[in-house]
């Protein structure tokens, strides 16, 4: 009887503090000068709001709107902190059904800095990685594929301003692909990983997708439930905009750097199709070139799932769509666009690829993979493609990248450091913005 009484008291305490009602999160989404997106998922229908305040001034708390989460949207709440001011850091808390959730780790976010016409652009630091498989025994293959979840604690320990997720951020399984129920279950299961929660709570997050969070392995535009996975992606991530209906294409800026998030699935023709060989598609490429030309960023990061610069016609590299790839790269050259750097994933190994171009600067492609999925190594054939930069390949090791942009406005420097799951440094490279002109 005493045991039952104790369990009841414990359940009552958890409910009182909001813990029993949080399924995953909270997560910090996009950041702008006047608003920040805040996200949380509850276990059941609940009234949710966020209270936030400028760090050091908890006496003046601000509030988001309050919403009631619902089953048809996986009990997700997406709320905007719209009373922020530029260049500020804030602490926040989650309120569920009128009670503050008692969360043991730090919850904070930042608005973007108003530096234009005033100072040199501030330094920035972001994390990048791809391929995050979270084991789920009843639905996994016979051998567990994911592991070393402590990598998310290692990323948080680096204290990046934000993280860019490079696709395969969750892995839909055979029971998931063909129903909305399955897709939402898989997104919920991945997002609920305990080791992930502190990283979600104080680092801003942006994302693209690749085949596994879009649909089945190697999925293309023919996937029947792509509207459902598009809905789930937009529900669970906090990007500030989407250029095309359905696709994950978008863009955002942070200080003097701009990111161009490309979709390599929505417009993609089947891999074995002979005619109409489409990868990004004409509309997406045209938007990208226009946006790149308009951008004044020192570094212009193009983020997409599959490798772009690797010249080997293998797997799902862009080289398997050779004609479109050639047109795509030529358009960048013809438009004389400076500062382009590619960020890619997919391959379950990490490597830097470099493409020398006649009459202009070389193009770099940082492939960072995997976060928690099974790690592998490049194919022996592609190693002969001559785009690998010596000393940058990471094989059979889960890892992530930390990208730092520092220096005066006219002398910006990109430093890229790769770490393993235990935060051990593996390699570092620096590229000056002046070298990409």
pLDDT digits (tens, 9 = 90+) for 71-126: 999 999 999 999 999 999 999 999 999 999 999 999 999 999 999 999 999 999 99
Q: Tell me the CATH number at 39.
A: 2.60.40.380
> Has residue 417 been placed in a domain?
yes
66/131 same-domain check: no
- Indicate if the pLDDT at residue 221 is higher than 80: yes
253/178 same-domain check: yes
The whole domain housing 189 covers 124-435
Number of H helices, E strands in the chain: 8, 21
Q: What residue ranges in 67-136 does DSSP mark as E strands?
A: 67-68, 76-81, 89-96, 99-100, 108-110, 124-129
pLDDT band at 375 (very low <50, low <70, confident <90, very high): very high
d(CA 214, CA 322): 23
State which of 61, 79, 110 marks the end of a domain: 110
Angle at 107 between CA 101 and CA 111, to 5 degrees: 130
- Indicate if the pLDDT at residue 127 is higher than 50: yes
> Has residue 94 been placed in a domain?
yes
Determine the pLDDT at residue 2.
38
172/83 same-domain check: no
d(CA 269, CA 279): 7
Determine the pLDDT at residue 150.
98
158/265 same-domain check: yes
pLDDT band at 19 (very low <50, low <70, confident <90, very high): low
Q: With b meaning 16 or more CB within 10 Å and e meaning fewer, what string describes 421-432?
A: beeeebbeeebe
263/382 same-domain check: yes
381/233 same-domain check: yes
Find the mean pLDDT for residues 380-391: 85
187/334 same-domain check: yes
pLDDT band at 383 (very low <50, low <70, confident <90, very high): confident
> Has residue 118 been placed in a domain?
no
State which of 54, 78, 110 marks the end of a domain: 110
For 310, the token pair is 């690797």
- Whether 267 and 283 have beta carbons less than 8 Å apart is answered as yes
Give the count of domains, the chain. Answer: 2
104/132 same-domain check: no
d(CA 247, CA 264): 9
State which of 56, 79, 110 marks the end of a domain: 110
pLDDT band at 228 (very low <50, low <70, confident <90, very high): very high
- Indicate if the pLDDT at residue 10 is higher than 60: no
Determine the pLDDT at residue 12.
38
Q: Tell me the CATH number at 266.
A: 3.60.21.70
Task: Pick the closest to residue 127 from 6, 17, 254, 280 (CA basis).
Answer: 254
Q: Which residues 6+ apart lie within 8 Å of 6 measured at CB? A: none
Determine the pLDDT at residue 271.
86
pLDDT tens string 308-360: 999 988 888 999 999 999 999 999 999 999 999 999 999 999 999 999 999 99
pLDDT band at 382 (very low <50, low <70, confident <90, very high): confident
Determine the pLDDT at residue 266.
98
pTM of the model: 0.95
- Whether 213 and 346 have beta carbons less than 8 Å apart is answered as no
10/154 same-domain check: no
Angle at 255 between CA 251 and CA 258, to 5 degrees: 25
Distance in Å from the first CA to the final CA of the chain: 75
Q: How does the average pLDDT of the chain come out, rounded? A: 94
Q: Is 278 helix (H, G, I), strand (E, B) or coil?
A: coil
97/138 same-domain check: no
Determine the pLDDT at residue 13.
36
Determine the pLDDT at residue 144.
79
Determine the pLDDT at residue 381.
83
106/141 same-domain check: no
> Which one-letter DSSP state was computed for residue 29?
E
């Amino acid at each position: 009887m005493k045991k039952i009484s104790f369990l009841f008291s414990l359940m009552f305490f958890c409910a009182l503090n909001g813990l029993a009602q949080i399924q995953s999160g909270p997560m910090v989404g996009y950041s702008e000068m006047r608003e920040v997106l805040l996200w949380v998922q509850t276990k059941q229908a609940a009234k949710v709001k966020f209270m936030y305040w400028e760090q050091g001034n908890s006496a003046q708390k601000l509030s988001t709107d309050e919403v009631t989460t619902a089953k048809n949207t996986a009990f997700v709440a997406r709320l905007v902190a719209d009373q922020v001011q530029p260049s500020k850091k804030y602490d926040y808390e989650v309120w569920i059904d009128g009670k503050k959730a008692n969360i043991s780790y730090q919850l904070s976010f930042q608005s973007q800095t108003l530096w234009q016409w005033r100072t040199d652009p501030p330094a920035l630091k972001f994390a990048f990685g791809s391929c995050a498989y979270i084991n789920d025994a009843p639905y996994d293959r016979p051998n567990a594929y994911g592991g070393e979840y402590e990598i998310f604690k290692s990323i948080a320990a680096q204290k990046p301003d934000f993280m860019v997720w490079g696709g395969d951020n969750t892995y839909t399984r055979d029971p998931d692909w063909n129903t909305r129920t399955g897709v939402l279950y898989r997104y919920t299961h991945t997002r609920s990983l305990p080791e992930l929660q502190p990283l979600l709570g104080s680092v801003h997050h942006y994302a693209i997708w690749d085949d596994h969070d879009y649909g089945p392995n190697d999925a293309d535009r023919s996937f029947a439930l792509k509207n459902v996975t598009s809905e789930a992606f937009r529900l669970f991530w906090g990007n500030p905009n989407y250029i095309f209906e359905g696709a994950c294409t978008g863009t955002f800026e942070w200080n003097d750097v701009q990111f161009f998030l490309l979709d390599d699935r929505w417009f993609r023709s089947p891999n074995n199709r002979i005619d109409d060989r489409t990868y990004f598609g004409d509309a997406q490429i045209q938007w990208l070139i226009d946006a790149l030309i308009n951008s004044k960023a020192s570094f212009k990061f193009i983020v997409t799932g599959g490798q772009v610069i690797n010249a080997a016609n293998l797997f799902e590299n862009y080289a398997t769509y050779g004609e479109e790839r050639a047109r795509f790269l030529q358009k960048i050259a013809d438009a004389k666009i400076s500062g382009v750097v590619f960020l890619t994933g997919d391959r379950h190994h990490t490597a830097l690829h470099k493409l020398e171009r006649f009459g202009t600067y070389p193009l770099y492609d940082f492939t960072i993979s995997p976060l928690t999925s099974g790690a592998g190594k490049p194919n022996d054939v592609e190693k002969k493609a001559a785009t690998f930069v010596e000393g940058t390949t990471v094989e059979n090791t889960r890892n992530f990248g930390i990208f730092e942009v520092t220096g005066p406005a006219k002398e910006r420097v990109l430093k890229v450091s790769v770490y393993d799951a235990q935060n051990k440094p593996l390699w570092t490279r620096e590229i000056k913005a002046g070298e990409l002109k």
